[in-house]
A and B are shown apart, each in its own frame.
Chain A
């Protein structure tokens, strides 16, 4: 699904990723763990194609093709979804309007017919019921005045409506209480599917109790330092990242 080869990325002239290799198979759930400043968010942004994240060497292949020349909206339409650590507020734009715009933009890109208002509402109602999101959330302006939990739930709602081939969750657990964490995790698990790949980026092992990964990678100093099974997360929880950053624990 996703293959990253020898990726070097600079932000404002400073190299953040320094030869990162990563391979995610179809249907797998991977977790990336790492200390602050290790390049976790940079990795998610560079996959999504954010401006200012300059690839100086290496490549990112999605479904076998390089995506480095694709715009963010093209990558999204190809099936890459990023759940934001800090979802952005769009004042005055109703959540439903935004979601419909998003779904139809992706459908246009794929050469499919757009959904009219009624068709879209039917799709949305179904997803909303599945995720247990309140209707009220749909009418409000995108993320404006949402609590931390509501923002994250909104990300998961968008993900379930767009049904991406690759979902990247960037620190989705940050700012969530335990109940919200369960709801969000349930949403992610519901989308687990042999055709879909998930990349969970997190600081803490906690989230991985709910979204159980097939593989865990440790990212430090701009590279993957170690790869293992889910037990690696527990080891990190116990011993910290010191062994990978070269600092004393």
Chain B
């Protein structure tokens, strides 16, 4: 299906200046016909030239999806999603012939990423950061692949991994988040289009930061990416993802699945800076960000650390979780969630302690402004075998103004007498006193708010890789523009 150029650009005047990534790029796309059916699944699988086992897995997931109900236990409520009113595949036409190297990638696409501040030409990039750029349903470029391969690290689009490393993909795909997990994850299993695949072999410390940059461009589409990271024994990798989308007055669905597998003594640091279009001041438009992320620490003494900065999306529904199976394994969750205007977020984590002497730490910072509403929802489960397990949870909420809401819902299930679970929570407001104090020192009100909020989030911002911490700090300020005065 062709989309003519006049479809683009019409949504550029929604009037929210704060969101600087709201532009639409005039890229001619190849789309799947609207709607979701078995044919859609077959269409996607055929586009990706997938082997039969992959198509079968997708179709099984699709059949299962038809039997499932929409989850409704979360706090944000929204009108039913019309799954037939979207395209499930959208790829820039220039990608049809599959460019083999960066030099062959459509300059138009490179320009889009340039505009987003992500140059894809290796010589212009941040030294030490490799990028996989996913545009709608396809990966358009992955940098530094050759260099990483020298260390034995595989970093490529998952669609390529299915072709080139079918054994690895088959061995791990769906083992952390099964296709039956929840309705959004099941939908993803049926129609996922691209995402990143990472394999770090035994004993390798990945020589660079890996990152994936997700961009939704096309209207009436959803993005369903799937990321799979496998860290073999004694390996280490730090991975970061960023996301943006154009400003539109329709809601677009983003239902991703991320699976992490950790073997003995492996460590994965997974950071997210989520800045999808949040909708306008009145809650029109914005992304529905319904994401399932989970890590399994299979090996002993393995460690996974999730750090997320969630500033975008109309609705965020996301609980990056850790299954701590291996003895002495460690799970960490550091989160900043900022909601402004009419945004809603229901986010948190699950720490499932199964192995002996497993430990987990949860630091959650929620900032609500405008008429927004957010919930921290976290589960800590100490199973009968988790002798000597420990958890520490700290949830702090900061309210700006008096018409927003913040809620903390901890679930604690402890079935082992020796396990220790600690939970601390605070709720505070930015006081007029604090603002006046900073303003009396010459600091304008909005800068003062950004400073106070950055201070509030400091424990989490410190967890981000240095290259991204500065950007994240700026984002915190930008996200709260217009929240006072």
Q: What residues make up the interface of A, taking CB atoms closer than 8 Å to B? A: 48, 50-52, 71-73, 75-77, 81-82, 84, 87-93, 97-98, 101-103, 105-106, 109, 141-142, 158, 162
- Report how far A219 CA is from B433 CA in the complex, Å: 25
Cross-chain pairs A/B with CB under 8 angstroms, 8 sampled: A71-B439, A76-B440, A91-B456, A93-B451, A98-B438, A105-B442, A109-B442, A158-B441
Partner of A73, one of B433, B443, B451: B443
Q: Which residue in chain A gives the minimum CB-CB distance to B436?
A: A50
**Contacts known (A84-B437, A90-B437); A106 close to B442, Cβ less than 8 A:** yes
**CB neighbours of B432 from chain A (8 A):** 51-52
Whether A90 lies near B440 (C-beta < 8 A) is no
Whether B452 lies near A72 (C-beta < 8 A) is no
Residue among B434, B438, B440, B445 with the most chain A CB within 10 A? B440
- Report how far A50 CA is from B438 CA in the complex, Å: 11
**CB neighbours of A106 from chain B (8 A):** 442
Partner of A105, one of B436, B447, B455: B447
Question: B458 within 8 Å of A by Cβ?
Answer: yes
Q: Which residue in chain B gives the minimum CB-CB distance to A72?
A: B439
- Report how far A225 CA is from B434 CA in the complex, Å: 33
- Report how far A162 CA is from B440 CA in the complex, Å: 11
Partner of B441, one of A71, A92, A97, A162: A162
The 8 closest A-B pairs by CB, nearest first: A92-B455, A93-B455, A92-B458, A102-B441, A76-B442, A106-B442, A88-B437, A72-B439
**CB neighbours of B445 from chain A (8 A):** 71, 73
Whether B444 lies near A73 (C-beta < 8 A) is yes
Q: Mark B442-464, 1 if CB is under 8 A from A, else 0.
A: 11110100011011111100000
Q: B-side binding surface: helix, strand, loop or mixed?
A: helix
**CB neighbours of A162 from chain B (8 A):** 441-442
**CB neighbours of B433 from chain A (8 A):** 88
Partner of A98, one of B431, B436, B444, B451: B451
**Contacts known (A72-B436, A101-B447, A105-B447); A90 close to B452, Cβ less than 8 A:** yes
Whether B441 lies near A76 (C-beta < 8 A) is yes
Q: Tell me, rounded to whole Å, the shortest Cβ–Cβ distance linking B262 to chain A.
A: 31
- Report how far A97 CA is from B458 CA in the complex, Å: 12
- Report how far A73 CA is from B440 CA in the complex, Å: 5
**CB neighbours of A142 from chain B (8 A):** 455
Partner of A92, one of B431, B438, B456: B456
Whether A92 lies near B444 (C-beta < 8 A) is no
Whether A90 lies near B434 (C-beta < 8 A) is yes
**CB neighbours of A88 from chain B (8 A):** 431, 433-434, 436-437
Q: A76-B439, A92-B456, A105-B447 are in contact. List 8 more A-B contacts (CB 8 A).
A: A48-B436, A73-B439, A76-B440, A88-B434, A92-B455, A93-B458, A97-B451, A101-B447
**CB neighbours of A48 from chain B (8 A):** 436, 440
**CB neighbours of A77 from chain B (8 A):** 442
Whether B440 lies near A82 (C-beta < 8 A) is yes
Whether A73 lies near B442 (C-beta < 8 A) is yes
**CB neighbours of B456 from chain A (8 A):** 91-92
Q: Tell me, rounded to whole Å, the shortest Cβ–Cβ distance linking B154 to chain A.
A: 39
- Report how far A88 CA is from B433 CA in the complex, Å: 7
**Contacts known (A92-B454, A141-B455); A102 close to B437, Cβ less than 8 A:** no
Q: Mark B286-320, 1 if CB is under 8 A from A, else 0.
A: 00000000000000000000000000000000000
**CB neighbours of B437 from chain A (8 A):** 84, 87-88, 90
- Report how far A84 CA is from B436 CA in the complex, Å: 11
**CB neighbours of B438 from chain A (8 A):** 90, 98, 102
Q: Tell me, rounded to whole Å, the shortest Cβ–Cβ distance linking A109 to chain B.
A: 7
Q: Which residue in chain B gives the minimum CB-CB distance to A142?
A: B455
Q: Tell me, rounded to whole Å, the shortest Cβ–Cβ distance linking B451 to chain A.
A: 6
**CB neighbours of B436 from chain A (8 A):** 48, 50-51, 72, 88
- Report how far A7 CA is from B283 CA in the complex, Å: 45
**CB neighbours of B431 from chain A (8 A):** 88
Q: Tell me, rounded to whole Å, the shortest Cβ–Cβ distance linking B268 to chain A.
A: 27
Q: Tell me, rounded to whole Å, the shortest Cβ–Cβ distance linking B291 to chain A.
A: 28
Q: Tell me, rounded to whole Å, the shortest Cβ–Cβ distance linking A130 to chain B.
A: 19
- Report how far A81 CA is from B439 CA in the complex, Å: 11
Residue among A82, A92, A102 with the most chain B CB within 10 A? A92
Q: Tell me, rounded to whole Å, the shortest Cβ–Cβ distance linking B337 to chain A.
A: 16
Q: Mark B417-439, 1 if CB is under 8 A from A, else 0.
A: 00000000000000111101111
Q: Tell me, rounded to whole Å, the shortest Cβ–Cβ distance linking A199 to chain B.
A: 14
- Report how far A158 CA is from B438 CA in the complex, Å: 11
**CB neighbours of A82 from chain B (8 A):** 440
- Report how far A134 CA is from B458 CA in the complex, Å: 23
- Report how far A115 CA is from B431 CA in the complex, Å: 29
Whether B443 lies near A101 (C-beta < 8 A) is yes
Whether B442 lies near A93 (C-beta < 8 A) is no
**CB neighbours of A52 from chain B (8 A):** 432
- Report how far A119 CA is from B440 CA in the complex, Å: 23
**CB neighbours of B451 from chain A (8 A):** 90, 93, 97-98, 101
Whether B455 lies near A90 (C-beta < 8 A) is yes
**CB neighbours of A81 from chain B (8 A):** 440
Residue among A82, A84, A101 with the most chain B CB within 10 A? A101
Q: Tell me, rounded to whole Å, the shortest Cβ–Cβ distance linking A196 to chain B.
A: 17
- Report how far A34 CA is from B440 CA in the complex, Å: 24
- Report how far A72 CA is from B433 CA in the complex, Å: 12
**CB neighbours of A51 from chain B (8 A):** 432, 436
Q: Which of B110-140 contact A (CB under 8 A)?
A: none
- Report how far A31 CA is from B349 CA in the complex, Å: 57
Q: Tell me, rounded to whole Å, the shortest Cβ–Cβ distance linking B367 to chain A.
A: 12
- Report how far A72 CA is from B438 CA in the complex, Å: 9
Q: Tell me, rounded to whole Å, the shortest Cβ–Cβ distance linking A95 to chain B.
A: 11
**CB neighbours of A101 from chain B (8 A):** 443, 447, 451
Q: Mark B473-485, 1 if CB is under 8 A from A, else 0.
A: 0000000000000
Q: Tell me, rounded to whole Å, the shortest Cβ–Cβ distance linking A41 to chain B.
A: 13
- Report how far A141 CA is from B447 CA in the complex, Å: 17
Q: Which residue in chain A gives the minimum CB-CB distance to B441?
A: A102
- Report how far A98 CA is from B439 CA in the complex, Å: 11
Q: Which residue in chain B gives the minimum CB-CB distance to A89?
A: B434
**CB neighbours of B444 from chain A (8 A):** 71, 73, 105
**CB neighbours of A50 from chain B (8 A):** 436
**CB neighbours of B447 from chain A (8 A):** 101, 105
- Report how far A73 CA is from B432 CA in the complex, Å: 14
Q: Which residue in chain A gives the minimum CB-CB distance to B456?
A: A92
- Report how far A77 CA is from B441 CA in the complex, Å: 8
Whether B440 lies near A72 (C-beta < 8 A) is yes
Whether B440 lies near A93 (C-beta < 8 A) is no
Q: Tell me, rounded to whole Å, the shortest Cβ–Cβ distance linking B376 to chain A.
A: 18
Residue among B432, B441, B459 with the most chain A CB within 10 A? B441
